[in-house]
A and B are shown apart, each in its own frame.
Chain A
Amino acid sequence: MSKKNPVEIRTSPHLKKNLSVDQIMLQVVYALIPVALFSVYQFGLSAAVVILTTILFAMGTEHLFCKLGNKPSTLGDNSALLTGLLLGLTLPPGFPLWMAAVAAISGMGIGKIFFGGLGYNILNPALVGRAFVQAAFPVAITSWTPNLLQDRFLEFIPSTLTPPMLLPISTTEWLTGKNVDSFTGATPLGLQKFENTPTELFDLFSGTTAGSLGETSFILILLGGLYLAARNFLDWRIPVGIFASASVVALITQWSDPSLAGPMFHILSGGMALGAIFMATDMVGSPVTPAGVWLYAFLIGALTVVIRVYGGLSEGVMYAILLGNIFLPLIELVTQPRSYGEAR
């Protein structure tokens, strides 16, 4: 007998696939990097600082709450980084930084940590943060700035640097000084809903429109999604189901009132792509049962178009996903898989 313990004991299985949560989260972050870079290209310095702010405050909130709870910090799972990045991408370009910080703190705090942290949150934390500021600062979150302004890499949009606890500085004067009327800042969804002005589908596809930081370019979001789906880090059924049901509902609404937008507009515009591909697919908030995944996706797609067409807001994807998250336990309850050998 040797002196040291000669053998290690573990329970089976003794092999493990080389993949863990932190790696998955990091891959999703990588998939979003082109989207984030494009938003900086479109909206300049302001976009960069908004995204950095939400990331910083999301991670800071998680770390602080872990320390307050005398628990090891959970920053290592990279989920706070992802939430911060996603949240930043849903905000308008000139969103005041202090409000972005509020969004991040409320999203992480109310949306995630109060429920028990990663895996236990009922709602998507990034969307909770956005919903919080949507309710708290309805004007600031619907104030859009035109894309591709000339000096975007040299100066901030004035509203970005609003001092904490103050209302955002108006950008109208600043924009007039640049010989741009504020109308050009309107988003395709707003133009469609309130002005009944359609936008070129190709602009929606490539992303050269006004809008929230990360939502404009359909193609970049789609490429990120395809990468994740190919590596099995994303359930392709969710975006496919959302786009399908949104198209069906859009066709129905268009049939009832031909002046309304068609399926392609609904899929390409606003936060639909970012929501369907990166938000609704958040593993924690989406069903695990195969039939449930489809049900969940159909629900979100249909709700998005219904809210967009019949609701007071021009955008509906955020509330649709949050409602989908809320329905999750019910969906899973009725879609448990039939196991091998189970009586029919």
Chain B
Amino acid sequence: MILNAEKLFAKLRKRRTFSHGIHPVAHKEATAGLAIRRIPFPPRVDLPLSQHIGAASKPLIKPGQEVVRGEPIAEPGGFLSVPIHSPVTGVVKSVDTLIPTAAGPKTPAITIETYGGSTQEVLYSAQQDIENLSPKELVEAVQHSGMVGLGGAAFPSHVKLLPPEGSVIETVLVNGCECEPYLTCDHRVMLEQTDAMIRGIEMVVRAVGAKRAIIGVEDNKFDAVKHIETALAGHPNITVQAVVTKYPQGAEKLLIDSLLDREVPEGEIPAKIGVAVYNVGTLAQLGSLIPQNRGLIERVVTVSGPGVKKPGNYMVPIGTPLRFLMEQVGADIDSSEVILGGPMMGMSVASLDVAITKGVSGVVVMEPQLESDKLKTVYPCIKCGDCLDACALHLNPSMLGQLASSREYEAMEEEYHLNSCFECGSCSYVCPSNIPLTQYFRIAKSINRERHAAEAAEAAAELESQQTDQSTEKSTSEAA
């Protein structure tokens, strides 16, 4: 645990938090009070085969085939992969259309043309009694549902239910922090899908064999804390705990620090210390999908920002083209910046032809030129140390930034914990010199990855040539 004055002071006031972090303006008032609403089916959905971390899914259908809302249309491409279900009733147009992604490269997607006037009801489902499922069967059911982390990471949920050899999960943490500005989808889920969420928690607790679950909610959503507290009657192993509103409270390693006063060792996953962290939206979906043996076909997306006329929390079919969603909410998209996810960690898209995938928690439309030109002037680092006070992982972004500008990427990784950085953006946010620190670190990491891959390839080639040498020697000696 990182003990310092800030944490001690919070403790004295009986408030749970981590030390450091930033306080960006939340901008949540526009959508926090708006109930989740459905949008109409788009005329076409694009479902990328790779919407999650891990191997791409494999299509199960052919072009021209008719599919029903909820039907599986792609199977997992491996253990670290999930199936895809059709969010609409319609006809498959293609199974390998290349569509743009927020990250840049185009990706193959299944394209389905929606039948007009088809029902919102999911016909493709079967009741199952989750109480009778063994933990192993639960894990399988979760994989079949195509669930991935809905908080943004899109990590296949079932994999988290199987902790690595030697770790025992004792505590399940439920992440209801939603620390990104503008986003309110988790807030609405906690208020509107409370029972499904609690069902999901119970399921996960049983699947991993945990003793307890703690729901962490930032104290700017106190209505959700109160609401969950009431709903938790009869669930003695689940508690809800308010945590201080501060960015990035919702990062799992920091939520662990806030709620349990423990640290995940560098380079390890939370399972190492017996903790698994799930997003509230993920658990609410699990709680409603698994009992009916259904797949993930839609999710709650907060659409907000200064460029949106009808901001809100929308239930959006997976695969909805961003352009269609923007038309529905009346977004002014001319020369705006459109961000998938929150404004701190989300990605701005180059094209509105990207699709809403399983990991998209929000769409934020910023006004063009939100920052004045003056704000964009990059000054040299003046060593003010603001970034050190912002970094929740207690790294030294100032030093990392200077090393990055002199291209000492190796030193960044080996001496200054570059790989601990999860790119929350706090350092860039506070930097008075406007240095794009987070972007520097992303570049440094990817260059290091390339270097490691090259080194590994070189080592392998060397090993191979040594072996050939040895075998030639052997054969020569044998011949002699």
B396 within 8 A of A: yes
A284 within 8 A of B: yes
Q: Are A16 and B375 in contact (CB under 8 A)?
A: yes
Q: Which residues of B contact A77 (CB under 8 A)?
A: 379
| Contact residues of B: prevailing secondary structure | loop
Nearest A residue to B416, CB-CB = A336
| A interface residues, how many (CB within 8 angstroms) | 47
Q: Are A15 and B337 in contact (CB under 8 A)?
A: no
B51-59, B81-89, B225-233, B429-437: which lies at the interface: B429-437
Report if A4-B339 is in contact (Cβ < 8 Å); known contacts: A11-B438, A340-B2, A340-B420: no
A179 within 8 A of B: no
In the complex, what's the smallest C-beta–C-beta distance from B63 to chain A, in angstroms?
A: 25
Q: Are B382 and A284 in contact (CB under 8 A)?
A: yes
A8 within 8 A of B: yes
Q: Are A17 and B388 in contact (CB under 8 A)?
A: no
B333 within 8 A of A: yes
In the complex, what's the smallest C-beta–C-beta distance from B8 to chain A, in angstroms?
A: 14
**Contact pick for B385, options A10, A20, A283, CB 8 Å:** A283
B351 within 8 A of A: yes
Q: Which residues of A contact B254 (CB under 8 A)?
A: 340
B29 within 8 A of A: no
Report if A119-B430 is in contact (Cβ < 8 Å); known contacts: A4-B335, A15-B181, A340-B420: no
Q: Which residues of A contact B78 (CB under 8 A)?
A: none
B345 within 8 A of A: yes
Q: Which residues of B contact A118 (CB under 8 A)?
A: 379-380, 382
Interface positions, chain A 312-344, Cβ under 8 Å from B, are 332, 336-343
Q: Which residues of B contact A150 (CB under 8 A)?
A: none
* Contact bitstring A258-296, B, C-beta under 8 A = 1, else 0: 000000000000000000000000011011111001000
Q: Which residues of A contact B394 (CB under 8 A)?
A: 337-340
A68 within 8 A of B: no
Report if A9-B348 is in contact (Cβ < 8 Å); known contacts: A16-B371, A17-B430, A118-B380: yes
Q: Are B429 and A15 in contact (CB under 8 A)?
A: yes
Q: Are A14 and B346 in contact (CB under 8 A)?
A: yes
In the complex, what's the smallest C-beta–C-beta distance from B258 to chain A, in angstroms?
A: 12
Q: Which residues of A contact B375 (CB under 8 A)?
A: 16, 18, 20
Instruction: Tell me the complex Cα distance, A118–B377, Å.
Output: 14
In the complex, what's the smallest C-beta–C-beta distance from A271 to chain B, in angstroms?
A: 23
* Contact bitstring B372-410, A, C-beta under 8 A = 1, else 0: 001101011111110010001111101100000000000
B156 within 8 A of A: no
**Contact pick for B429, options A4, A13, A76, CB 8 Å:** A13
Q: Which residues of A contact B392 (CB under 8 A)?
A: 340
A166 within 8 A of B: no
Instruction: Tell me the complex Cα distance, A333–B208, Å.
Output: 44
Q: Are B425 and A8 in contact (CB under 8 A)?
A: no
Q: Are A119 and B429 in contact (CB under 8 A)?
A: no
B135-143, B260-268, B452-460: which lies at the interface: B260-268
B93 within 8 A of A: no
B212 within 8 A of A: no
Q: Which residues of B contact A2 (CB under 8 A)?
A: 334
In the complex, what's the smallest C-beta–C-beta distance from A339 to chain B, in angstroms?
A: 5
B439 within 8 A of A: yes
**Contact pick for A339, options B24, B344, B349, B393, CB 8 Å:** B393
In the complex, what's the smallest C-beta–C-beta distance from B412 to chain A, in angstroms?
A: 13
B123 within 8 A of A: no
Nearest A residue to B374, CB-CB = A20
Nearest A residue to B434, CB-CB = A20
In the complex, what's the smallest C-beta–C-beta distance from B134 to chain A, in angstroms?
A: 34
Give the most central of A8, A19, A283: most B CB within 10 Å. Answer: A8
**Contact pick for A14, options B265, B267, B343, CB 8 Å:** B343
Q: Are A289 and B388 in contact (CB under 8 A)?
A: yes
Q: Which residues of B contact A288 (CB under 8 A)?
A: 383-385, 388, 396, 398-399
**Contact pick for B339, options A14, A19, A286, A337, CB 8 Å:** A14
Interface positions, chain A 47-87, Cβ under 8 Å from B, are 76-77
Q: Are A21 and B433 in contact (CB under 8 A)?
A: yes
In the complex, what's the smallest C-beta–C-beta distance from B266 to chain A, in angstroms?
A: 4
Q: Are A119 and B343 in contact (CB under 8 A)?
A: no
Q: Are A7 and B348 in contact (CB under 8 A)?
A: yes
B428 within 8 A of A: yes
Give the most central of A13, A76, A120, A283: most B CB within 10 Å. Answer: A13
Interface positions, chain B 289-348, Cβ under 8 Å from A, are 333-339, 343-348
Q: Are A339 and B395 in contact (CB under 8 A)?
A: yes
Q: Which residues of B contact A235 (CB under 8 A)?
A: 385
Q: Are B335 and A13 in contact (CB under 8 A)?
A: no
B423 within 8 A of A: yes
List 6 A-B residue pairs with CB atoms under 8 Å apart, sorted by A's residue number: A2-B334, A14-B344, A283-B383, A288-B384, A338-B2, A342-B266
A interface with B by C-beta (< 8 Å)? 2, 4-24, 76-77, 116-120, 235, 283-284, 286-290, 293, 332, 336-343
Beyond A12-B423, A21-B432, A343-B265, 10 additional contacts (C-beta under 8 Å) are A6-B333, A6-B336, A8-B337, A14-B337, A20-B374, A119-B379, A290-B388, A339-B266, A340-B394, A343-B266
